[in-house]
Amino acid sequence: MQKKLGRNTVVLLGIGHTNAHVLRKWKMKPLENAELVCVSNFPTSTYSGMLPGVLSGQYPPEEMEIDLVRLCASAGVRLILDEVVGVDPVEQQLLFRNRPSLAYDALSIGVGSVPTFGDVEIADDNPLISVKPMQTFLSRLRDRLEAFGEDRNPRVAVVGGGIGSIEIALCLDQRMKTNPSSLGLGSGKQCEICLITGGDRVGAGLLESTRDKIESHFQRRGINAIAGSRVAEVTPSGLILKNGATQAADIVIWATSAVAPPILKALSLESDERGFVLTKSTLQSLSSDQIFAVGDSGTIQNQGLVKAGVYAVRQGPFLWDNIRRLLENRKPVSYVPQTGFLKLINTADGHAIGEYKNRSFQGRWCWALKNRIDLKFMKMYQDYSPMEMGGAEASADSEELMRCLGCGGKIGSKLLGEVLKELEVPTHEDVIIGLENPDDAAVIRTHGDQVTVTTDFFASPMDDPYLVGQIALLNSASDCCVMGAQPTSALAIVQLPLGHPRAQLQVMRELMAGSVAELKKMNATIVGGHSIEGPRLTAGFTVLGRQLTDPKTKGMLKEGDLLVSTKPLGTGVLLAALMQGMLPGRSYLPLVNTMLLSNYIAIRLIQDYQISAITDVTGFGMAGHLAEMLKASGKSATIRMDQVRLLPGCQTLIDAGIESTLAPDNRLVSDKVQFIGDVASPANAALFDPQTSGGLLFGIAETRLAEVMGFLGDEGFGETCVVGEVTPNPAGTSALTVIH
Ligand SMILES: Cc1cc2nc3c(=O)[nH]c(=O)nc-3n(C[C@H](O)[C@H](O)[C@H](O)COP(=O)(O)OP(=O)(O)OC[C@H]3O[C@@H](n4cnc5c(N)ncnc54)[C@H](O)[C@@H]3O)c2cc1C
């Protein structure tokens, strides 16, 4: 979204129960003159209160997830999915493993906790599944159950004894008794479940009457509760307890009490004996007033609170208030925890057990209450509709929302072609490949050497300058590589968003770091450029290259060639969805990862694999770029849609009506070739989707195919596929036929 960069930066590390509140409040009313950046290790955040209900099958997985990609996009907030390795409280910088540091004025750490293993010995080939990270818990459990090949029921030991482990045992039991195959277990099997706790009975910290109720549920359902001894060893075949007893187990679910995740140790802030960051009652770290530690990650000095989601949730409004107070130089307020809270345990059979203060209860109404509380809580975080704005700003911005950026912001090929036709572009003896026979890049002669030159830029559809720097560079350099030229140097063209110079500096630093990181991988360098400020981040590069070999120009396709595409299609659709807050979190990393795959390998393809002709698929979509090749080669082609790979979620978004603003223009491919197929069909839409840092498209003889596929697979292009073949052109007009 178009906005001015603010002076201050608020960074949320880990979007758990407390930090999510700040994100939600920001979406409702962002702080003036400030930026919010969310840093997470997953594109979704999981609500632990509903994890057992998802395990039992009472809810679909999406119900317990906050989609951070969608929430951040809809709030106009930057999301970084990357690994944090430290913090510099003096310089106020958050440090990453793979990208430049991020300056903050307020940092809130809410990365939760992990179950403790203490002094437990763990064999290499062990059956452990930790409940954290919760985002992957169910898929890891499913993998184990699917892989269980023995002719008996799998034995599952849940280690813990607190509310979380009790719910996991009960909810897994219910799922296994009602629908085991839906969690990957072979038909006719169930799990034999036991719960192991070091306490005297299950339910440490709960009222005795509540523990009675839990035990009676366990007995009735055949869940064996083994109390009184901690686990000493996890072996390949199960557990050895400290009292010497053994427990055979095929799967061990670890849900013990909380200790600090390793990242907290790396931050080197003053901490308690379990590694959690020590804070004042204002939630500010003892080491720095600019750093807050919240939820499980923080321990308020001298308060002795247990680690529980309810405290994390209640801290949200205090954190939001204190961040604002910090930025406004006002005195922070103290968080005052509630003295007790309602505990509700999902037994997964339509009932729940509960306790409040000194009373214990159970029944269907308890489950109804828990269900209502949990759904209401999650609803607050699952509103992904775009942030509301008023007046003129709103209409300007909604219009802006409609225009696609990235290569989807490219001007249509027709417009460009018409302008060039009108101009009498002079010829020059040193132009070897120019506008007379346009290709991916121009080749000119200087002092007798051939130099390849290309330029490209786009308005950024993403909020992360480091990624934008990487992608813009790869996108520009690709044109050079597909001409068989080694990139040597680049000039940057940057438009920085308007705003505070300090924030502009941070954007520029990250953008250039991203592009230089990619240039280094190509053994090239940056030699200059030009930057201005304007309404939004726009970045691109002019790349110069040394021609290493004769180019495999677009016009060199041969009859019978197989057409090979190295990346899945759909970046235009997914980026359009991202800008509208519609891109599901699970599609985000595949999108980013495909754009970050470097087309530098085109040089090797040209030099070593005898390909016929090659191009990269960018703004005009696969159909448009293939049409250019066919026209220049005087050939036709067939595309088999069932062979064309799409990014995850792409077809669903197309079917929901999402497309790039350039797609309609790209459908005018019939200006270039005869298109035999339904241009308007959603089933063909991906062919017209403009790609940002798209894949390579090349022709190769069938005899060379296996070799080239092996090479591309080794280089990380595992999605490479044959999409069609080149056919003769007896009618004299090139045709592109799409087959389903
Ligand atoms: C099965 C189970 C059920 C539970 N049920 C309840 C209950 O009913 N009631 C209750 O009060 N408590 C419950 N708890 C405890 C509760 O889950 C925690 O107290 C609560 O989640 C703490 O919230 P948080 O925001 O501190 O951390 P979390 O909710 O764990 O959120 C931390 C976030 O930080 C992210 N993160 C982690 N590491 C990094 C990193 N290095 N970089 C970036 N991001 C990172 C994580 O992906 C996550 O999104 C339960 C716990 C379990 C295991």
127-136, 180-189, 249-258, 569-578: range with lowest mean pLDDT? 180-189
DSSP 8-class letter at 584: -
What are all long-range contacts of 392-397, with beta carbons under 8 Å and residues at least 24 apart? 396/2, 397/1, 397/2
Q: What is the mean pLDDT of residues 635-652?
A: 97
DSSP state of 295: G
Listed in sequence order, the residues at least 6 apart from 561 whose beta carbon sits closer than 8 Å to its beta carbon are 612, 613, 699, 700, 701, 725, 726
**CA–CA dist 615, 637 (Å, integer):** 15
CB 236 within 8 A of CB 127: yes
Confidence of residue 410 (pLDDT cuts 50, 70, 90): low
Residue 404 clears pLDDT 80, i.e. is over it: no
Report the residue among 38, 46, 102, 111 best suited for mutation to probe ligand 1: largest number of ligand atoms under 8 A from its CB: 111
Catalytically annotated residue among 404, 407, 481, 721: 407
DSSP string, 706-719: HHHHHHHHHTT-TT
Least confident of 267-271, 419-423, 504-508: 419-423
Give the pLDDT score at 470: 97
CA atoms within 13 A on the CB side of 345: 29
Kindly state the percentage of the chain with pLDDT values over 90. Answer: 81
Phi, psi of 622 (to 5 degrees): -60, -40
Q: Determine if ligand 1 sits within 6 Å of the CB of residue 40.
A: yes
Query: Is residue 407 flagged as an active site residue?
Result: yes
pLDDT at 687 over 90: yes
> 57 is written with which tokens?
């099958």
Angle at 673 between CA 675 and CA 728, to 5 degrees: 90
Cα–Cα dist 262/285, whole Å: 17
pLDDT at 396: 45
Banded model confidence at residue 460, pLDDT cuts 50, 70, 90: confident
Whether 308 lines ligand 1, by a CB cut-off of 6 Å, is: yes
Predicted confidence at residue 439, as pLDDT, reads 73
Distance CA 490, CA 515 (A): 10
Whether the predicted pLDDT of 46 surpasses 50: yes
What's the CA-to-centroid distance between 312 and ligand 1, angstroms? Answer: 9
Tell me what the pLDDT averaged over the chain comes to. Answer: 92
According to the model, what pLDDT value does residue 411 have?
A: 56
Strand, helix or coil for residue 317: helix
Residue 420 confidence (pLDDT):
64
The helix/strand/coil state of 488 is strand
Give the up-direction half-sphere exposure of residue 206: CA atoms within 13 A in the CB hemisphere.
Answer: 28
Eight-class DSSP state of 80: E
**Separation of 48 CA from ligand 1 center, angstroms?**
6
User: Going by C-beta distance under 8 Å and a sequence separation of 6 or more, which residues neighbour residue 472?
Assistant: 456, 457, 458, 460, 511, 515, 539, 540, 541
Q: Do β-strands 291-293 and 298-300 pair in parallel, antiparallel, or remain unpaired? A: unpaired
Q: How far is CA 603 from CA 45, 548, 610, 675, in A?
A: 41, 8, 11, 31
Q: Is the pLDDT confidence value at 181 over 70?
A: yes
Indicate whether 208 pLDDT > 50. Answer: yes
Q: Is any ligand 1 atom within 6 A of the Cβ of residue 708?
A: no
Contact of 546 with 451, CB cutoff 8 Å? yes
From 484, 494, 511, select the one nearest 616 (Cα to Cα). 484
Q: Tell me the CA–centroid distance for residue 208 and ligand 1, in Å.
A: 26
How far, in Å, CA of 332 to CA of 497, rounded?
32
| Mean pLDDT for the stretch of residues 608-627 | 95
Give the integer Cα–Cα distance in Å for 609 and 710.
11
Ligand 1 touching residue 17 (CB < 6 A): yes
Measure the CA–CA gap between 47 and 506, rounded to whole angstroms: 33
Q: Which amino acid, 197? A: T
- CA atoms of 485 and 473, how far apart (whole Å): 15
pLDDT of 416? 59
Closest C-alpha to ligand 1, atom 21: 309
CA distance 235 to 238: 5
Mean local confidence (pLDDT), 529-551 = 91
For a ligand 1 pocket test, name from 48, 84, 171, 214 the mutation site with the most ligand atoms within 8 angstroms of its C-beta: 48
Residue that the structure tokens 């595309």 belong to: 639
Which residues pair with residue 344 across a beta bridge?
354
Residue 183 to residues 83, 143, 221, 416, 572, Cα–Cα distance (Å):
31, 9, 19, 54, 35
374 lines ligand 1 (CB under 6 A): no
Q: Whose CA is nearest to atom 43 of ligand 1?
A: 40
Which pair of tokens denotes residue 575? 């980026």
110: Cβ below 6 Å to ligand 1?
yes
Q: What is the pLDDT of residues 692-731, one digit of tens each?
A: 999 999 999 999 999 999 999 999 999 999 999 999 987 7
Local structure of 581: helix, strand or coil: coil
Residue nearest (by alpha carbon) to ligand 1 atom 7: 49
> How far is ligand 1, taken at its centre, from the CA of residue 261, in Å?
11
- Going from the C-alpha of 302 to that of each of 290, 310, 335, 593, the distances in angstroms are 21, 19, 13, 45
pLDDT of residue 422: 72
Could you identify the atom of ligand 1 that is nearest to the CA of residue 20? 25
Residue 736, pLDDT > 70, answer yes
CA dihedral 541→546→549→552, nearest 10 degrees, is 20
Helix axes 68-75, 585-596, angle to 10 degrees: 80
- Asked whether 85 lines ligand 1 (CB < 6 A), one says no
- Band (pLDDT 50/70/90 cuts) for residue 386 is confident
Q: Is the CB of 112 under 6 A from ligand 1?
A: yes
pTM listed for this prediction: 0.90
Q: Model confidence at 391, in pLDDT bands (50, 70, 90)?
A: very low
Q: Which domains does the chain have, with CATH numbers?
A: 8-113+260-381 (3.50.50.60), 121-258 (3.50.50.60), 440-550 (3.30.1330.10), 552-740 (3.90.650.10)
Give the chain's radius of gyration (CA, Å).
Answer: 29
* Model confidence at 448: pLDDT above 90: no
pLDDT tens, 545-603?
999 988 888 899 999 999 999 999 999 999 999 988 899 999 999 999 999 999 999 99
Phi, psi of 526 (to 5 degrees): -100, 135
Name the strand (E) or helix (H) holding 85. Answer: strand 84-88
211 DSSP β-pair partners: none
Dist. CA 14 → ligand 1 center (Å) = 10
Query: Ligand 1: does its nearest atom lie under 6 Å from the Cβ of 130?
Result: no
What pLDDT is attached to residue 730? 79
Question: Which of 2, 1, 7 is closest to 499 using CA atoms?
Answer: 7
Number of H helices, E strands in the chain: 20, 39
User: How many Å lie between the centroid of ligand 1 and the Cα of residue 317?
Assistant: 18
Go through 395-426 and write b for each residue having 16 or more CB atoms within 10 A of its CB, e for each that does not.
Answer: eebeeeeeebbbbbbbebbeeeeeeeeeeeee
pLDDT at position 401 is 47
Q: What is the pLDDT of residue 423?
A: 67
Q: How far is the CA of 65 from the centre of ligand 1 (A)?
A: 12
Distance 224 CA to ligand 1 centre (A): 27
CA 494, CA 507: separation in Å to the nearest integer? 11
Residues β-bridged to residue 445: 450
Q: In the prediction, which pLDDT does 1 show?
A: 45
The three-class DSSP label of residue 522 is: coil
**Rounded (5°) CA angle 362-51-150:** 105
Check if 163 has its Cβ closer than 6 Å to any atom of ligand 1: yes
Instruction: Dump pLDDT digits (tens) for 111-159.
Output: 999 999 999 999 999 999 999 999 999 999 999 999 998 889 999 999 9
- Report which DSSP code applies to 499: B
DSSP-derived secondary structure letter, 246? E
CB atoms within 10 A of CB 728: 10
The tens digit of pLDDT for each residue in 56-103 reads 999 999 999 999 999 999 999 999 999 999 999 999 999 999 999 999
Report how far residue 682's alpha carbon sits from residue 651's, in angstroms, rounded to the nearest whole number: 8
pLDDT at 305: 86
Residue 114 in contact with ligand 1 by CB distance below 6 A: no
DSSP letters along 345-380, please? EE-SSS-EEEEETTEEEEEHHHHHHHHHHHHHHHHH
- Measure the CA–CA gap between 11 and 683, rounded to whole angstroms: 42
Mean pLDDT over 475-492 rounds to: 94
